[in-house]
Amino acid sequence: MEERNVAPVASNNFIEKRTTMSRMPTPATIVTAPIASRPLLKAVNKQLGVVPNLFRLVSNSPAALEGYLGLSGALAKGSLTQQTGERIALAVAQINSCDYCLSAHTYLGKNVARLDDAEIAANRNGCSNDPKADAGVRFAAKVARERGHVSDDDLRAVKAAGYDDAQIVEIVLHVALNVWTNYINIVAATDIDFPAVRAIDLKAA
């Protein structure tokens, strides 16, 4: 049985040397971020031990950073497991060809959610090697690909696998949040500060 959500904790050793390829400004330090974003970035640093480039980039808008952290924190208290959240993140990042999010969630999937390489490959292909998780990831991938226009059969299938209405709502919210992080990283061409993973390199599971 999978463990319930816990706050991810990472160490400084996963951050690679930053490059200067981003198309949007990314504050180099907390003190160079907008004043209203600094307490939020300090909280990220306290939780993770580092401040990944995504958070630095989003800190250009204190409102966006507050919204992102608030929604992420709320989802962490939901009924879906952390493993399921990472599986969905990997599937959606692959669908949207977001190398930054693929890199981040491959790292988090391995080191925080404890997913193995075979599972991560399956997740990137929009499925899972765990029977129940497979239904959830397939549904999430369908939501992402079809922009929410899933069929009655799709909904029946995920319910038949054991997901209740609250969990289906959370699956859709995970998809939506990951689509947003995918899009902002693609728009900005955010420098990848995790071990790099490229969408184009995926092999079918």
What confidence score (pLDDT) does residue 111 get? 94
Q: What residue type is assigned to position 185 of the chain? A: N
Q: How far apart are the first and last CA of the chain?
A: 24
- Going by the DSSP 8-state scheme, the letter that residue 60 receives in this structure is T
Q: Residue 47: phi, psi to the nearest 5?
A: -75, -45
What does CATH list as the number for 34-77? 1.20.5
Please tell me the pTM assigned to this model.
0.87
Residue corresponding to tokens 């993770």: 48
Q: Which CATH superfamily is domain 82-201 in?
A: AhpD-like (1.20.1290.10)
CA 86 to chain centre: 6
Q: How far apart are CA 136 and CA 113, in angstroms?
A: 16
Q: Is the pLDDT of residue 169 over 60?
A: yes
Q: Is the pLDDT of residue 165 over 90?
A: yes
- Total H helices, total E strands in the chain: 9, 0
What confidence score (pLDDT) does residue 105 get? 97
Whether 15 and 51 have beta carbons less than 8 Å apart is answered as: no
Question: Of the candidates 181, 175, 179, 176, which has an alpha carbon nearest to the alpha carbon of residue 88?
Answer: 175
Q: How far apart are CA 163 and CA 133, in angstroms?
A: 10
Q: What is the mean pLDDT of residues 29-33?
A: 95
Q: How far apart are CA 61 and CA 40, in angstroms?
A: 11
Q: Residue 26: pLDDT band by 50, 70, 90 thresholds?
A: very high
Helices (H), 2-81: 38-48, 53-58, 62-76
Domain range summary for the chain, segments of one domain joined by +: 34-77, 82-201
Q: What is the mean pLDDT of residues 94-104?
A: 97
What confidence score (pLDDT) does residue 173 get? 98
